[in-house]
């Protein structure tokens, strides 16, 4: 057997002991993984030693790729997808033969592809390490990688990309509406404002009733897919597929070490984990911090080529190109997923329908009791992930994904075009896009704990980005309303409009409604009377009073699932918290025009819980 | 099918020619002066010529045509609400009765009374009797579960279109004294009276206004003449007075431009100003005679202002009489009888009540009742019994005294603070009849309140200037000024007059005047901002600001905004009720009147200022005497925004377009990043 031979080679070279070999073989019998990868993961050999041993075994010369030894023009002739799939990079063309570096045993497909791309050249295939291959790809296909990660979705389907914020018809409609509004305010201000007030009030009523209804439905559903401990125990390690974990990390030097420790604690065979840490070129600190944490051999470092926009989804798209797992999950650098989450997600995929493309784990905060903001954030997340998303799932409505802990079938994710790097809530956008393509998103009973923002400025930056992303998503999927209804169905389209479109609108309108109410309470002016005929006044009051009370109420019972009863009273402070949302919304609205895909970076590692939790 | 009155047409053609010739000689002679006291001549050709000569601008010389419509009225049925019992009838205690006067139009006969009832739960089995005078027409068992009872009315006797009947309940119980506290038999206003027969066609004026009509419509051109408008207002007061409390409605409708007036159904009536002919009922062949053409103000005044105008004259002509609406003498007392009350005998075992509603308008202008002299006789109290007389004015106890003799003649001061525009005086006897007095069949206390009981009057201003002063301020006659004089304003004035007339028995007699110089007495004015300014009304400018007691701006109307207002105020000692609107749109004026009158009519109108913008609902406030101030904003320098409004909007539009152009390449036509 090949494996025996690899072991013998390594034994003969004195690189491993017989006991180490026996341990690796025992592991191999359990998980079915390749021996070389097992020895690497177990730390018995280095990548260089393993590659040299494999070169011996495959009777090929070993090669170390130096950057100046690669003829970029030659390499670029070889298609990127073939390079990624075959893990081989042509580095030189001598005229008679083409020198190829490979990290895998050369097979027929490699030979056939080389014959097509470099006709008349004899292939001279040499073995190198995986890292050398990744570095060579980054060097030779930099432009292609950048293009694919940035414009992949746009070139695939412009209508689904937020690269264009407004389509021409949208912009024309918006412009005409603005001008008509201005003309109306000039000629008949009261009637115009009344005309404006009616649809806005009715829409706010619909949004409020919708969210309440979905929350109530969600309250009756623990989670859509519940995985029991028995099911987890029954999982055979050999059956487990390779799972890619993408971790986009930018300016996260303070927390990257914690994340690596959390990932190491995952209850999943390390040899079946393909962990890709994605760094930006202008962030050597985080890369250095990651290296200092000395992660296992199943962790790959990948530096994302620079290029605008410098967003998390762009980094994720780069990671997706290199991902080798059958399934894929995204974690943020400050995340602490529950150890059994990957297995639960895997079982959820297996139990779910074929069209289940993504499984979302719940998010919550480990530093929930740090200050007012973290408490309110926790309340909000508890309602969102424990009530609203399960409710949407139960009602078969589109689910906007959370920013992290979304588990995908890698092939489906590639089919959907990956993330939209121009959308600053690429997660929500992807969830809606999946629904538009007939896929479903499920919710699994596992939680990832994150760090809640404790500083107002940081919170506002993060929240304005989310709301701007919702605006982008609403604009993207409303470009073709008829198509939206046809593809997703009327009910889903209405759900999308009320949730994605309604959320920013509610926050934008909230301060206006409160302001008018305060104005009336203080001055008792009758100037507002024409704007609120009795029937509309009752609806507005219902929205303001009952809507707020209802939202507070559902927030109150949101904490019960998490047993954070001490937060119940904080629900009453929600109106103040929503005013912060409104501030963020106006900032988001401005940025939608001025810096549509600017990624407002959220700083992590500010919590005093960080060290303790780590 | 349209059938002109052939005969009437021929006659009118002949007289039109004669009238035209006369006009050439005499010229147009106005007849807007006070109605002559001489006898109205018989409708001869000469008289008709004279009437023709009175035609004023806005009057059509063409005779009114009537289009006969098929009568869709089937079996007639009225509810108690229709005939004035808006709240139904409540019978209190073990033995009580109520008289209901059924209107019976000519050709009809009441056949059945279907009562909808609410009996007292757990009451013993009782009876409900229908009587007329001394005759018992029917008796029905009344259980606490009974919700409906039917009585035949075939035997009811009708006197001049009216059939008074009495419903009397009798609940056996051991304690008749306590019964009033427990037993209530409520007859709902939705109870119905069914009639058989077919309404007789109207032949003459005397029978034109039947005891009950559903609707009276006055057809007017868009810009009616002074005479036509005057007659329409007279008719409004008349209809409200004649059908007081009933559901009869009065409407002003547009005179068809070319077509004929559609003949109303048998239970409706139409009026039309037709100076080109005699006052007469227009009845085309096959028609019902439900259209009355009024030919002159004199006829109208006789028809609509005298207490029994239509009944005074035999069809088809008139017996003339003088119209006198007030002789200027000061009245110092009004008896209950003169206010339309009959002697009333009440009996019972514990609490016996006689209620007398009255309005200040019943007494005249600037006159208030200062005391009430009660003249009554009552039965003797047994040696072990005792009793008290209590007088309540608008639910306030104003007098109490023990009963000792059988004769009562007591004068009770009426405190001014308790008086309102519409009042209710309760004469209550609280008696304890002693041993056996509370047993059914035992002795009862009986009292008869004499109609010589009197309200003693004093010439004092009744109430502070406000809507409450009306309609008292309009008695005995008042001026009406319309500016401009069009159908819309006639309709508003008619609505106001009708609503106010419904609150009093005193006839309201409007005098339509041409301009302010002609105004005599109190004034009802309907017009525009110009009129409001001419009258120096509290709210008269295009823009104004209303401040409350604390100085806070409660409401503000910009000079450019349209609004309608109804306000009551006094200028130069004259009470003025003004309805006016600004700008072109008169609807904001129609709305505050309609909304103020809904649902209780003039009874529900209070305050002194009703305001309505184009979109906001009507608000009614008491501005005068309450510290409110009205500030005109018309003369104020406009705010910066108002002064530069157009420029600001143009600037905003330019800025908006610039921004849209600026953002276009950033959010729509973006270029791919060449470095990507």
pLDDT digits (tens, 9 = 90+) for B547-565: 887 877 777 787 777 888 9
> Chain A residue with minimal CA distance to B614?
A530
More confident residue, A613 or A22: A22
- Strands ordered across the beta sheet of A299-304: A299-304, A273-280, A243-249, A327-330, A406-409, A356-365, A440-450, A336-337
For residue B98, pLDDT beyond 60? yes
What's the average model confidence in pLDDT over B629-654? 80
Across the interface, do B667 and A178 touch by the CB < 8 Å criterion? no
pLDDT at residue B24, rounded to an integer: 31
Q: Does A185 touch chain B (CB under 8 A)?
A: yes
Please give the Cα distance from B632 to B542 (Å, whole number).
Answer: 8
Measured between beta carbons, which residues in chain B are less than 8 angstroms from residue A194? 615
Looking at every residue in chain B, the average pLDDT score rounds to 81
pLDDT at residue B259, rounded to an integer: 66
B318 Cβ neighbours under 8 A, 6+ residues apart: B40, B205, B279, B299, B302
Q: Does A304 touch chain B (CB under 8 A)?
A: no
For residue B272, pLDDT beyond 80? yes
Confidence of residue B255 (pLDDT cuts 50, 70, 90): confident
Torsional sign, CA A67, A70, A71, A77: negative
pLDDT digits (tens, 9 = 90+) for B313-346: 433 333 333 334 444 445 688 899 888 888 888 8
B580 in Cβ contact with B530 (< 8 Å): no
> Chain A residue with minimal CA distance to B612?
A530
pLDDT at residue B268, rounded to an integer: 92
Closest to B343 measured CA to CA, from B505, B452, B455: B452
DSSP string, A241-276: PPEEEEEEESS-TTTHHHHHHHHHTSSS-GGGEEEE
Please give the Cα distance from B286 to B560 (Å, whole number).
Answer: 55
Cis peptide before A249 (omega within 30 of 0): no
What's the average model confidence in pLDDT over A285-297? 82
The beta-carbon neighbor of B668 closest among A168, A529, A533 is: A168
The beta-carbon neighbor of A171 closest among B552, B555, B668 is: B668
Determine the distance in angstroms separating the CA of A221 from the nearest CA of chain B, rounded to an integer: 41
Strand ranges (E), B490-539? 509-513, 523-528
pLDDT digits (tens, 9 = 90+) for B101-155: 999 999 999 999 999 999 999 888 999 999 998 899 999 999 999 999 999 999 9
Please give the Cα distance from A451 to B229 (Å, whole number).
Answer: 82
Please give the Cα distance from A383 to A372 (Å, whole number).
Answer: 17
Confidence of residue B567 (pLDDT cuts 50, 70, 90): very high
DSSP A386: I
Across the interface, do A151 and B615 touch by the CB < 8 Å criterion? no
Please give the Cα distance from B265 to B248 (Å, whole number).
Answer: 14
In degrees and rounded to multiples of 5, residue A205 shows phi and psi of: -65, -45
Q: In the structure encoding, which two tokens stand for residue B327, read together?
A: 């002789």
Confidence of residue B56 (pLDDT cuts 50, 70, 90): low
pLDDT digits (tens, 9 = 90+) for A310-361: 888 899 998 998 888 899 999 988 788 888 888 888 988 888 888 888 988 8
Q: In the structure encoding, which two tokens stand for residue B87, read together?
A: 């709240």
pLDDT digits (tens, 9 = 90+) for B404-447: 888 999 999 999 888 988 999 999 999 988 877 787 777 789 99
pLDDT at residue B58, rounded to an integer: 56
Determine the distance in angstroms separating the CA of B320 from the nearest CA of chain A, rounded to an integer: 55
A341 in Cβ contact with A207 (< 8 Å): no
Confidence of residue B481 (pLDDT cuts 50, 70, 90): very high
Please give the Cα distance from B218 to B271 (Å, whole number).
Answer: 5
| % of chain A surpassing 70 pLDDT | 97
Measured between beta carbons, which residues in chain B are less than 8 angstroms from residue A308? 673, 675-676
| SS3 of chain B: helix, strand, coil, percent, to 5 | 20, 35, 45
Across the interface, do B667 and A596 touch by the CB < 8 Å criterion? yes
Instruction: Give start and end residues of each alpha helix (H) in A446-526.
Output: 456-477, 481-488, 490-496, 502-523
Determine the distance in angstroms separating the CA of A559 from the nearest CA of chain B, rounded to an integer: 41
More confident residue, A28 or B353: B353
Determine the distance in angstroms separating the CA of B660 from the nearest CA of chain A, rounded to an integer: 7
ipTM: 0.77
pLDDT at residue B673, rounded to an integer: 56
Q: Which of B547, B616, B647 to mutate to test the interface with A (most CBs of A within 10 A)?
A: B616
pLDDT digits (tens, 9 = 90+) for A361-373: 887 777 777 788 8
> Chain B residue with minimal CA distance to A194?
B615
Please give the Cα distance from A400 to A470 (Å, whole number).
Answer: 9
For residue A265, pLDDT beyond 90? no
What's the average model confidence in pLDDT over B211-221? 93
pLDDT at residue B271, rounded to an integer: 94
The beta-carbon neighbor of A530 closest among B613, B646, B657 is: B613
For chain A, the distance separating the N- and C-terminal CA atoms, rounded to the nearest angstrom, is: 43
The beta-carbon neighbor of B656 closest among A163, A178, A523 is: A178
Measured between beta carbons, which residues in chain A are less than 8 angstroms from residue B615? 190-191, 194, 530, 533
For residue B199, pLDDT beyond 60? yes
pLDDT at residue B81, rounded to an integer: 93
In degrees and rounded to multiples of 5, residue B220 shows phi and psi of: -135, 150
CA A595 to chain centre: 21
Across the interface, do A593 and B667 touch by the CB < 8 Å criterion? yes
Measured between beta carbons, which residues in chain A are less than 8 angstroms from residue B653? 179, 182-183
Radius of gyration, alpha carbons of chain A: 27
Hey, which residues does B390 pair with through a beta bridge? B400, B428
Confidence of residue B627 (pLDDT cuts 50, 70, 90): confident
In degrees and rounded to multiples of 5, residue A63 shows phi and psi of: -140, 135
For residue B620, pLDDT beyond 90? no
Cβ neighbours of B256 (radius 10 Å): 14
What's the average model confidence in pLDDT over B247-257? 90
Measured between beta carbons, which residues in chain B are less than 8 angstroms from residue A533? 615, 617
For residue A612, pLDDT beyond 60? no
Across the interface, do A308 and B675 touch by the CB < 8 Å criterion? yes
pLDDT at residue B227, rounded to an integer: 92
Helix/strand/coil for A12:
helix
Across the interface, do A596 and B657 touch by the CB < 8 Å criterion? no
Q: Does A373 touch chain B (CB under 8 A)?
A: no
A86 Cβ neighbours under 8 A, 6+ residues apart: A102, A104, A107, A109, A110, A113
B422 in Cβ contact with B156 (< 8 Å): no
Measured between beta carbons, which residues in chain B are less than 8 angstroms from residue A178? 656, 660
pLDDT digits (tens, 9 = 90+) for A545-589: 888 888 888 777 777 777 777 777 888 888 888 888 999 999 999
Confidence of residue A10 (pLDDT cuts 50, 70, 90): confident
Q: Does A521 touch chain B (CB under 8 A)?
A: no
CA angle centred on B503, ends B501 and B506, rounded to 5°: 60
Instruction: Give start and end residues of each alpha helix (H) in A268-398.
Output: 284-292, 312-322, 341-351, 372-383, 389-394
Measured between beta carbons, which residues in chain A are less than 8 angstroms from residue B614? 190, 530
Q: In the structure encoding, which two tokens stand for residue A215, read together?
A: 């929350």
Closest to B227 measured CA to CA, from B52, B82, B364, B358: B52
Confidence of residue B514 (pLDDT cuts 50, 70, 90): very high
Confidence of residue B27 (pLDDT cuts 50, 70, 90): very low
Across the interface, do B672 and A175 touch by the CB < 8 Å criterion? no
pLDDT digits (tens, 9 = 90+) for A591-602: 999 888 888 777
pLDDT at residue B63, rounded to an integer: 62
Task: Match 């419904």 to its residue by tokens.
Answer: B502
CA B522 to chain centre: 19
For residue B51, pLDDT beyond 50? no
For residue B37, pLDDT beyond 50? no
| % of chain A surpassing 90 pLDDT | 9
Helix/strand/coil for A522:
helix
From residue B571, alpha-carbon distances to A447, B465, B537, B576, B577 in Å are 80, 10, 8, 7, 11
Cβ neighbours of B160 (radius 10 Å): 8
The pTM of the whole model exceeds 0.80: no
DSSP B159: B
Across the interface, do A151 and B660 touch by the CB < 8 Å criterion? no
Confidence of residue B640 (pLDDT cuts 50, 70, 90): confident
DSSP string, B205-274: GGGTS-S--SEEEEEE-SS--HHHHHHHHHHHHHHHHHTTTSS-EEEEEEPPSSSPEEPPPTTEEEEEE-
A412 in Cβ contact with A405 (< 8 Å): no
Burial label for B528, CB within 10 Å (0-12, 13-18, 19+), is middle
Confidence of residue B185 (pLDDT cuts 50, 70, 90): very high
From residue B320, alpha-carbon distances to A297, B42, B387 in Å are 123, 10, 54
Beta pairing, strands B629-632 & B544-547: antiparallel
Please enumerate residues of B whose Cβ is less than 8 A from a Cβ of A: 552-556, 613-617, 619, 645-646, 649, 652-653, 656-657, 660, 663-664, 666-670, 672-673, 675-676
Determine the distance in angstroms separating the CA of B536 from the nearest CA of chain A, rounded to an integer: 25
What's the average model confidence in pLDDT over A532-549? 85
Determine the distance in angstroms separating the CA of A170 from the nearest CA of chain B, rounded to an integer: 9
pLDDT digits (tens, 9 = 90+) for B515-544: 999 999 899 999 988 899 999 998 888 888
Burial label for B120, CB within 10 Å (0-12, 13-18, 19+), is middle
What's the average model confidence in pLDDT over A63-77? 82
Cβ neighbours of B456 (radius 10 Å): 16
Helix/strand/coil for B584:
coil
Q: Which of B560, B652, B660 to mutate to test the interface with A (most CBs of A within 10 A)?
A: B660
For residue B642, pLDDT beyond 80? no
For residue B43, pLDDT beyond 50? no
Confidence of residue A99 (pLDDT cuts 50, 70, 90): confident
| % of chain B surpassing 70 pLDDT | 82
Across the interface, do B666 and A175 touch by the CB < 8 Å criterion? no
CA angle centred on A363, ends A361 and A367, rounded to 5°: 150
Q: How many helices (H) and strands (E) does chain A have?
A: 28, 11
Cβ neighbours of B653 (radius 10 Å): 15
> Chain A residue with minimal CA distance to B651?
A182
Q: In the structure encoding, which two tokens stand for residue B22, read together?
A: 């006369």
Across the interface, do B676 and A150 touch by the CB < 8 Å criterion? yes
Q: Which of A189, A529, A531, A537 to mutate to test the interface with B (most CBs of B within 10 A)?
A: A529
For residue B47, pLDDT beyond 50? no
From residue A208, alpha-carbon distances to A193, A448, B225 in Å are 22, 28, 59
The beta-carbon neighbor of B676 closest among A178, A308, A529 is: A308
Measured between beta carbons, which residues in chain B are less than 8 angstroms from residue A593? 663, 666-667
Q: In the structure encoding, which two tokens stand for residue B213, read together?
A: 């009509």
Work out the widest C-alpha separation in chain B, in whole angstroms: 119
Helix/strand/coil for A81:
helix
Please give the Cα distance from A47 to A66 (Å, whole number).
Answer: 16
Helix (H) or strand (E) holding B179, with range, is helix B179-182
Q: Which of B612, B668, B675 to mutate to test the interface with A (most CBs of A within 10 A)?
A: B668
A502 in Cβ contact with A474 (< 8 Å): no
CB pairs under 8 A between A and B: 80
Across the interface, do A190 and B614 touch by the CB < 8 Å criterion? yes
Cβ neighbours of A355 (radius 10 Å): 12
Across the interface, do B616 and A175 touch by the CB < 8 Å criterion? no
Please give the Cα distance from A518 to A544 (Å, whole number).
Answer: 12
For residue A65, pLDDT beyond 90? no
Measured between beta carbons, which residues in chain B are less than 8 angstroms from residue A183? 653
Across the interface, do B673 and A186 touch by the CB < 8 Å criterion? no
Work out the widest C-alpha separation in chain A, in whole angstroms: 95
């Amino acid at each position: 057997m090949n494996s025996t031979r690899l072991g013998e080679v390594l034994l003969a070279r004195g690189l491993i002991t017989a006991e180490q070999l026996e341990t690796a073989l025992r592991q191999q019998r359990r998980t079915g993984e390749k021996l070389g990868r097992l020895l690497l993961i177990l730390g018995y050999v280095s990548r260089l030693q393993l590659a040299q041993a494999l070169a011996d075994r495959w009777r090929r010369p070993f090669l170390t790729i130096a950057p100046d030894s690669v003829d970029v023009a030659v390499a670029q002739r070889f298609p990127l997808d073939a390079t990624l799939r075959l893990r081989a990079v042509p580095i030189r063309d001598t005229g008679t033969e083409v020198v190829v570096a490979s990290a895998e045993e050369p097979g027929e497909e490699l030979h056939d592809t080389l014959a097509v791309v470099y006709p008349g050249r004899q292939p001279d295939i040499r073995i190198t390490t995986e890292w050398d291959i990744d570095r060579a790809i980054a060097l030779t296909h930099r432009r292609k990688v950048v293009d694919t990660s940035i414009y992949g979705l746009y070139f695939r389907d412009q209508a689904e990309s937020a690269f264009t914020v407004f389509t021409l018809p949208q912009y024309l409609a918006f412009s005409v509406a603005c001008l008509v509004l201005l003309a109306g305010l000039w000629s008949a201000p009261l009637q115009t404002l009344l005309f404006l007030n009616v649809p806005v009030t009715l829409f706010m009523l619909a949004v409020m009733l919708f969210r309440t209804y979905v929350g109530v439905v969600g309250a009756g559903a623990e989670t859509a897919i519940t995985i029991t401990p028995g099911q987890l125990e029954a999982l055979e390690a050999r059956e487990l597929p390779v799972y890619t974990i993408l971790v986009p990390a930018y300016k996260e030097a303070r927390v990257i070490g914690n994340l690596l420790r959390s990932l190491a604690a995952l209850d999943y065979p390390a040899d079946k984990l393909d962990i890709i840490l994605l760094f930006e070129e202008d962030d050597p600190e985080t890369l250095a911090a990651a290296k200092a944490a000395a992660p296992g051999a199943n962790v790959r470092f990948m530096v994302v080529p620079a290029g605008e926009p410098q967003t998390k989804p762009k980094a994720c798209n780069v990671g997706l190109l290199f991902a080798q797992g059958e399934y894929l999950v995204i974690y943020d650098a400050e995340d602490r997923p529950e150890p059994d989450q990957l297995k639960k997600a895997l079982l959820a995929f297996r139990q779910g329908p074929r069209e289940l493309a993504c499984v979302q784990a719940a998010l919550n905060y480990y530093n929930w009791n740090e200050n007012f903001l973290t408490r309110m954030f926790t309340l909000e997340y508890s309602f969102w992930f424990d009530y609203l998303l399960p409710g949407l799932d139960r009602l078969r409505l589109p689910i906007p994904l959370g920013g992290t802990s979304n588990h995908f079938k890698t092939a489906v994710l590639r089919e959907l075009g990956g993330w939209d790097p121009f959308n600053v809530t690429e997660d929500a956008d992807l969830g809606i896009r999946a629904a538009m393509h007939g896929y479903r998103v499920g919710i699994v009973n596992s939680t990832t704990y994150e760090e809640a923002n404790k500083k107002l400025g940081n919170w506002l930056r993060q929240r304005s980005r989310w709301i701007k992303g919702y605006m982008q998503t609403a604009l993207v999927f409303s470009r073709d309303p008829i198509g939206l209804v046809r593809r997703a169905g009327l009910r889903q389209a209405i759900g999308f409009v009320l949730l994605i479109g309604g959320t920013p609108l509610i926050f934008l309108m909230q301060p206006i409604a409160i302001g008018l109410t305060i104005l009336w309470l203080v001055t008792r002016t009758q100037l507002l009377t024409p704007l609120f005929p009795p029937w509309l006044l009752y609806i507005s009051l219902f929205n303001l009073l009952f809507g707020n009370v209802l939202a507070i109420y559902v927030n109150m019972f949101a904490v019960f699932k998490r047993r954070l009863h001490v937060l119940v009273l904080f629900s009453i402070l929600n109106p103040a918290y929503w005013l912060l949302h409104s501030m963020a919304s106006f900032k988001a609205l401005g940025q939608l025009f001025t810096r549509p895909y600017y990624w407002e970076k959220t700083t992590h590692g500010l919590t005093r819980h960080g060290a303790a939790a780590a | 099918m349209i059938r002109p009155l052939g005969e009437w047409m021929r006659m009118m053609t002949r007289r039109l020619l004669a009238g035209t010739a006369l006009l050439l000689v005499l010229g147009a002679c106005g007849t807007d002066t006070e109605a002559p006291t001489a006898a109205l001549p018989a409708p001869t050709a000469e008289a008709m010529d004279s009437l023709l000569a009175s035609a004023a601008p806005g009057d059509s010389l063409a005779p009114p045509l009537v289009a006969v419509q098929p009568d869709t009225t089937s079996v007639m049925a009225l509810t108690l609400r229709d005939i004035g019992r808006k709240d139904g009838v409540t019978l209190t205690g073990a033995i009580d009765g109520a008289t209901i006067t059924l209107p019976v139009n000519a050709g009809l006969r009441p056949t059945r009374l279907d009562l909808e009832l609410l009996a007292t739960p757990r009451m013993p089995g009782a009876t409900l009797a229908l009587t007329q005078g001394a005759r018992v027409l029917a008796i029905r068992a009344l259980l606490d579960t009974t919700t409906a009872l039917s009585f035949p009315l075939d035997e009811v006797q009708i006197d001049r279109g009216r059939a008074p009947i009495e419903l009397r309940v009798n609940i056996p119980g051991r304690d008749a004294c306590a019964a009033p506290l427990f037993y209530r038999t409520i007859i709902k206003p939705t109870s119905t009276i069914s009639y058989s027969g077919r309404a007789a066609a109207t032949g003459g004026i005397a029978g034109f206004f039947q005891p009950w009509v559903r609707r009276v419509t006055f057809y007017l051109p868009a810009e009616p003449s002074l005479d036509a408008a005057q007659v329409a207002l007279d008719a409004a007061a008349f209809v409200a007075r004649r059908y007081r409390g009933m559901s009869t409605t009065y409407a002003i409708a547009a005179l068809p431009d070319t077509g004929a007036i559609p003949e109303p159904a048998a239970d409706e009536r139409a009026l039309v100003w037709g100076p080109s002919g005699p006052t007469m009922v227009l009845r085309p062949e096959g028609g019902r005679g439900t259209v009355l053409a009024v030919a002159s103000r004199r006829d109208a005044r006789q028809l609509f202002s005298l207490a029994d105008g239509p009944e005074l004259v035999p069809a088809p002509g008139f017996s003339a009489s003088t119209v006198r609406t007030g002789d200027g003498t000061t009245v110092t007392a009004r008896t209950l009888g003169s206010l339309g009350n009959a002697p009333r005998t009440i009996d019972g075992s514990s609490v016996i009540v006689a209620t007398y509603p009255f309005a200040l308008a019943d007494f005249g202008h600037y006159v208030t009742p200062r005391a009430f002299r009660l003249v009554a006789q009552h039965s003797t109290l047994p040696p072990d019994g005792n009793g008290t007389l209590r007088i309540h004015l608008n639910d306030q106890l104003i007098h109490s005294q023990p009963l000792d003799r059988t004769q009562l003649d007591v004068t009770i001061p009426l405190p001014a603070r308790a008086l309102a525009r519409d009042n209710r005086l309760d004469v209550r006897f609280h008696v304890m009849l002693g041993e056996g007095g509370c047993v059914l069949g035992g002795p009862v206390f009986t009292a008869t309140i004499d109609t010589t009981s009197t309200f003693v009057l004093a010439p004092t201003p009744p109430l502070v200037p406000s809507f409450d002063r009306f309609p008292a301020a309009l008695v005995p006659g008042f001026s009406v000024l319309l500016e401009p004089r069009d159908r819309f304003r006639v309709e508003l004035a008619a609505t106001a007059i009708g609503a106010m007339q419904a609150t009093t028995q005193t006839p309201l007699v409007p005098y339509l005047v041409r301009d302010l110089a002609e105004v005599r007495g109190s004034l009802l004015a309907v017009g525009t901002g110009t009129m409001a300014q001419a009258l120096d009304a509290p709210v008269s400018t295009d823009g104004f600001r209303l401040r409350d007691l604390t100085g806070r701006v409660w409401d503000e109307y910009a000079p450019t905004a349209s609004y309608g207002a109804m306000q009551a105020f006094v200028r130069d000692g004259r009470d003025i009720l003004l309805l006016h609107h600004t700008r072109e749109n008169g609807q904001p004026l129609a709305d505050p009147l309609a909304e103020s009158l809904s649902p209780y009519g003039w009874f529900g109108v209070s305050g002194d200022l009703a305001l309505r913008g184009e979109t906001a609902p009507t608000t009614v406030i008491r501005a005068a005497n309450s510290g409110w101030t009205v500030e005109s904003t018309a003369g104020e320098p406009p705010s910066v925004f108002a002064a530069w409004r157009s420029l600001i909007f143009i600037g905003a539009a330019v800025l908006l377009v610039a921004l849209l152009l600026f953002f276009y390449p950033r959010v729509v036509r973006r270029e791919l990043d060449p470095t990507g």
